[in-house]
């Protein structure tokens, strides 16, 4: 199994690692440890490079499976046992961290006002969208929602990471803010992101340590997605 440094130390930008397997047909390598987030929960995978001396191997895709985290490379592959330096594209990653935290904060604000679950979501660096079941939505709600979201972000709320045994997590339905639980049955330990006092839910992605790092956000658009459903689009300012 790959040591997933991003899961507990989200500000780590690089790490030494060793190639433990190579898939030449698919152009990918498996590392024993990594700072690269493999994607999930609406957050895209990281990109960056593997460094071997003066050589730079571009990491263009990252995924995970039961064995660990795989890194797709542009060009030639290093061999099994090769030591490398894994370096993430930090500017892109940090914008994703800010964006993801903003989306969790939005989830908390909407939940506190409407008790409405999330039905879908996605993000790119600097912008994202969340879909909600909001049968009582009024267009006049948009500006107060944006104002409250920015007030909560400016409150310097810490963002904490913890891990719960699956059995304990299953006893707390508030950890699942989606309409349908996305936790696979095989998952035995649940990672929890807690924007203290605002939003606490199961999540595997990367986040900033304090809500003030997000900065101000704008509700760019609210779209109807059918009767009783709304898509709220956010952008970092």
Which of 29, 24, 23 lies closest to 59 in space, CA to CA? Answer: 29
Q: Is the pLDDT of residue 175 over 90?
A: no
43's tokens: 């957050």
pLDDT exceeds cutoff 50 at 180: no
Q: What is the CATH number of domain 3-88?
A: 2.40.30.130
DSSP states of 41-76: TTBPPP-EEEEETTEEEEEEEEEEETTEEEEEEESP
Domain boundaries, the chain: 3-88, 93-236
DSSP H/E element including 120:
strand 118-124
Give the tens place of pLDDT for each residue, 68-105: 999 999 989 999 999 999 999 999 999 999 999 999 99
Rounded CA separation 118/131 (Å): 6
If you average pLDDT over every residue of the chain, what do you get? 92
Q: Looking at residue 179, what is its pLDDT?
A: 44
Given a cut of 80, whether residue 177 has pLDDT beyond it is no
CATH architecture of 93-236: 2-Layer Sandwich (3.30)
Q: Do domains 3-88 and 93-236 have the same CATH topology?
A: no
């Amino acid at each position: 199994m790959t040591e997933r440094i991003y899961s507990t130390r989200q500000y780590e930008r690089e790490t030494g690692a060793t190639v433990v397997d190579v898939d030449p047909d698919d152009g990918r390598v498996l590392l024993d440890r990594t700072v690269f987030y493999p994607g999930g929960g609406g957050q895209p995978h990281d990109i960056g490079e593997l460094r071997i001396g003066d050589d730079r191997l571009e990491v263009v895709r990252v995924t995970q499976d039961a064995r660990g985290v795989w890194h797709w490379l542009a060009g030639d592959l290093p061999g099994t046992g090769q030591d490398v330096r894994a370096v993430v594209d930090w500017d892109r990653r940090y914008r994703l961290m800010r964006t993801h935290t903003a989306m969790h904060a939005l989830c908390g604000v909407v939940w506190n006002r409407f008790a409405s679950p999330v039905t879908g979501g996605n993000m790119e660096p600097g912008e994202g969208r969340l879909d909600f079941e909001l049968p009582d939505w009024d267009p006049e709600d948009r500006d107060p929602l944006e104002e409250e979201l920015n007030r909560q972000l400016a409150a310097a709320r810490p963002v904490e990471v913890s891990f719960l045994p699956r059995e304990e997590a299953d006893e707390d339905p508030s950890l699942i803010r989606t309409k349908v639980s996305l936790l696979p049955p095989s998952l035995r330990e649940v990672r929890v992101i807690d924007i203290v006092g605002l939003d606490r839910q199961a999540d595997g992605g990367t986040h900033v340590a304090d809500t003030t790092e997000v900065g101000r956000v704008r509700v760019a658009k609210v779209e109807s997605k059918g009767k009783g459903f709304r898509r709220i689009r956010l952008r970092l300012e």
